[in-house]
Amino acid sequence: MAVDLHLHSSASDGTDPPDVVVAKAAALGLTAIALTDHDTLSGIPAARAAAARHSIDLVPGVELSVDHAGLKIHMLAYFIEPGPGPLQDRLGALRSGRDTRNVIIVQRLNELGYPITMEDVLRHASGDAVGRPHIADALVEAGSIASRSEAFAGLLSDGGRAYVERDRLTATEAIELTLQSGGVNSIAHPLTINTDAPTLRPVLADLRDAGLAGLEAYYSEYSPTIRGQLASIAADLGLVATGGSDYHGAGKPGLEIGTGRGDLVIPATALERLQQRRP
Ligand code: AMP
Ligand code: ZN
Ligand code: FE
Ligand code: FE
């Protein structure tokens, strides 16, 4: 009984439509999945309809980029229903912050000699949360760059030549809004915060005290040893060890739903324990 609690669709920067993500997950034998597009719930209705057809459980979710004590953290919010609500209402503002930033990034790229336009970028986006991966796709199409990851290296990544900040929630705001919306949070790919356990633990303990429920221990890009270490940190701190592939379709080549790079297994108990943390 395996699940996958971190999946992207074309509602944000994945390449498969939401119903296709769900159909693939069901065909792979998963019992439940969470769709966690960046800053949008717009894929949830189609995913939910597909989940009913394919007899798989769908958790409505969203991935947020937040600030905490000078750190950039990705936070997954689960059990967030599309429609109005405390967190839901903030997502629109986060998406318009993306739109403003995308225009500035494209201007920077033009100054650097990459002749792409916002129209080029938008041709690669089919949802309402447009971001750097779509800008990367436009660069690849223009011919000067080979892949999304090559576009990030040096240009689009944090500190890259065309990098531009955008408005974010703070971690504590995100947790409060999520709880008010009836959801719970897990920290996505926690080693992007810091790879050093003595540094990571106090940050996680702070966020737990602010209402954080989980920590993404079972993550595609981590070795089985690291996953085990993160699961035991989660247990020590009273957090649920959650997991997900961070599937993006062709946007992250070689990364499969459920199994990640081949060795990922996310126990269904992760979702059961997360359910028990719902406010
Ligand atoms: P944005 O949403 O515009 O802030 O872009 C961040 C997203 O870009 C991440 O959530 C990833 O999906 C993707 N991303 C970040 N770094 C890379 C990379 N090195 N290669 C490919 N995609 C990346
Ligand atoms: Zn993404
Ligand atoms: Fe992320
Ligand atoms: Fe993600």
pLDDT in tens, 215-256: 999 999 999 999 999 999 999 999 999 999 999 999 999 999
By most ligand atoms within 8 Å of CB, the mutation choice from 64, 106, 152 for ligand 1 is 152
pLDDT tens string 135-162: 999 999 999 899 999 999 989 999 999 9
Report the pLDDT value the prediction gives residue 1, as an integer from 0 to 100. Answer: 86
Which ligand minimizes its atom distance to the CA of 13? Answer: 2
pLDDT tens, 108-127? 999 999 999 999 999 999 99
The pTM score is 0.97
Pocket test for ligand 1, best of 65, 148, 252 (most atoms within 8 A of CB): 148
pLDDT of residue 196: 85
**pLDDT score of 65:** 98
Residues 6+ apart with CB under 8 A from 218: 227, 231, 241, 242, 243, 244, 264, 265, 266, 267, 270
**3 state DSSP class of 106:** helix
Q: What is the pLDDT of residues 157-190, one digit of tens each?
A: 999 999 999 999 999 999 999 999 999 999 999 9
How far apart are the C-alpha atoms of 80 and 83, rounded to whole Å? 9
- CA atoms of 8 and 12, how far apart (whole Å): 7
Does position 210 have pLDDT exceeding 90, yes or no? yes
pLDDT of residue 144: 81
Share of the chain above pLDDT 70, in %: 100
Structural contact between residues 244 and 34, judged by C-beta atoms closer than 8 angstroms: yes
Instruction: Measure 207 CA to ligand 4 centroid, in angstroms.
Output: 19
Please tell me the predicted confidence (pLDDT) of residue 165.
96
pLDDT of residue 172: 98
Average pLDDT, the chain: 97
- Compute, in degrees rounded to 10, the torsion defined by CA atoms 116, 121, 123, 127: 180
Tell me if 136 sits within 8 A of 156, measured CB to CB.
yes
Atom of ligand 1 nearest to the CA of 149: 20
Q: Which two tokens stand for residue 119?
A: 């129209």
pLDDT bucket at 12, cuts 50 / 70 / 90? very high
The span from the CA of 111 to the CA of 69, in Å, is 33
191-198 contacts at long range (C-beta below 8 A, 24 or more positions apart): 191/222, 191/226, 191/230, 192/72, 192/73, 192/74, 193/71, 193/73, 194/71, 197/229, 197/233
pLDDT tens string 69-106? 999 999 999 999 999 999 999 999 999 999 999 999 99
Q: Reply yes or no on whether the pLDDT at 194 is more than 90.
A: no
